[in-house]
Structure 1
Amino acid sequence: MSHNSGMPVLNDEVPDDDDFDAGRRRGEFDNVTPEDFGGSNPPGWLDRPEIERIRRQVPIPYVEIVPVRTDDLGRIVSVGSLLRVDEHGSIERTLIAGRVLFHESLREAIARNIAKDLGDIALPVLPQCLQPFTVAEFFPTPGLSEFYDPRQHSIALCYIVPIPGDCKPQDETLDVEWCDPHDARIDVFIEQMANGHGAIVRKALAWAGV
């Protein structure tokens, strides 16, 4: 794993490979294959060639989550981000995001993607209203909008979700970092998010009146 991205980490050091139990459970569907369903793909399951073909041809619905910590009055006291290794081996700061699967409700998609990245004891407070605070349209061509995803054209419904529980990085997530939105470092925190994710955080804070 390369840690030579040059991106300063605000709180803790990025964990080394040997800090993790290589055999730990990393995701809800890690041990599930289509063969477990009698040889046919279960609803929502697409193999890699098929999802890559679809990504090249049609927009993909996504949910994107800005995780927050709140005080007793529901005011945002910190904003969370994920640290991951990108395809070039550099550390990137991003948000929780993922596809909406076939026959999956938006609430189920939000809950599943949070559990995938933060673990099963994050205890997210799911939104009562499914109206997103913004919609971000990611294009695979740079410059068409402030949102860019080289893999696909995706339409992301964006939600703020309070996370009162413990976060245990899962799947491809190395670490979870939090920043006080009133701290002077929040601008650096947001600027480290590439491809428009920082703009989503700014919209989230403005929508919440922070």
Structure 2
Amino acid sequence: MGPWLSPEDLESVRRKVPMLYIDALPVRVDDAGEVEAVGLLLRVTEAGTMSRALVSGRVLFHETVRQALARHLEKDLGPMALPRLPLSPVPYAVGEYFPTPGSPFYDPRQHAVSLAYVVPVVGDCRPSHDTLELTWLTPAEALLPEILADMSEGHASLLRRAMAHLGRLY
């Protein structure tokens, strides 16, 4: 599925219409379904700084939420990550991003709404695309202030919400 708008048209639409995104927190679970590890991406931001992030991306025209999740997980974690996509498209949280500095969910490009999911992965993750590294942390480590401080664009809030949703908020 190719781009549905030219970069110029996309920029114009972003100034006028909220965009739909997905955010996904990759996790490793044990045999009982308990979260053992949380995967956070390490990326270079547009400003040139390093930042930890969730898997994130836009839902394309004529693409289901499940298809968008699969596409972005493969793009960021590699084709052998083997994600276990949720059976239901109901997210654990909704992020509302605004182009207003100081907004809890800030995206300077646009107003966007993000559906957030926790997605177990069972395969071999090899970061690709613009991901420098995938770091696996215990749930307690992921919630350390220094880790949360390295996250941007509302991802720290979504991570805390995911841990609360999973009963792992310490």
Task: Confirm whether residue 90 of structure 1 aligns to residue 53 of structure 2.
Answer: no
Segments of 5+ residues of structure 2 without an aligned counterpart are: none
Q: What is the CA-CA distance between 1:192 and the residue it aligns to?
A: 1.3
Are 1:191 and 2:149 an aligned pair?
yes
Distance 2:34 2:144 in 1: 16
Deviation at 1:91, TM superposition (A): 1.1
Amino acid at match of 2:42: L
Q: Which residue of 1 aligns with 2:124?
A: 166
The equivalent position to 1:136 in structure 2, one of 95, 104, 115, is 95
Instruction: Identify the match of residue 146 of structure 1 among 104, 126, 137.
Output: 104
Following TM superposition, by how much is the alpha carbon of 1:112 offset from its aligned partner in structure 2, in angstroms? 0.4
Out of 86-95 and 99-108, give the one that drifted further.
86-95
Aligned length: 168
Question: What displacement does 1:52 show?
Answer: 0.9
Distance in structure 1 (CA, Å) of the matches to 2:120 and 2:13: 33
**Does residue 1:179 correspond to 2:119, yes or no?**
no
Can you list the C-alpha shifts for 1:37-76, whole angstroms capped at 9, x where unaligned? xxxxx5x522211111111111000011011111111111
Distance in 1 (CA, whole Å) between partners of 2:142 and 2:125 is 24
Amino acid at match of 2:43: R
1:83-102: CA deviation from partner (whole Å, max 9, x where unpaired)? 11111221111111111111
Whether the 8 Å contact between 1:65 and 1:160 is mirrored in structure 2 is yes
Question: SS where residue 152 of structure 1 aligns?
Answer: coil
TM-score normalised according to structure 1 size? 0.76
Matching of residues 1-210 of structure 1 within 5 Å: 45-143=4-102, 145-183=103-141, 186-210=144-168
Question: Cα gap change, 1:92/1:184 in structure 2, threshold over 3 Å: closer, same or farther?
Answer: closer
Deviation of the 1:191 alpha carbon: 2.4
CA distance in 1, matches of 2:93, 2:54: 14
The alpha-carbon deviation at position 188 of structure 1 amounts to 2.2
Larger Rg: 1
CA contact (8 A) 2:96 2:114 kept: yes
Higher strand share: 2
Structure 2 vs 1, CA of residues 184 and 148 (structure 1 numbering), >3 Å: closer, same or farther? closer
In the alignment, structure 1 segments of 5+ residues that lack a partner are 1-28, 30-41
TM, length-normalised to structure 2: 0.93
Task: Please give the root-mean-square deviation of Cα atoms over the aligned residues, in Å.
Answer: 1.6
Q: Which segments of structure 1 move beyond 3 Å, counting only runs of 4 or more?
A: 183-187
Q: CA deviation at 1:138?
A: 0.3
Q: Structure 1 residues 97 and 185, CA, compared in 2 at 3 Å: closer, same or farther? A: closer
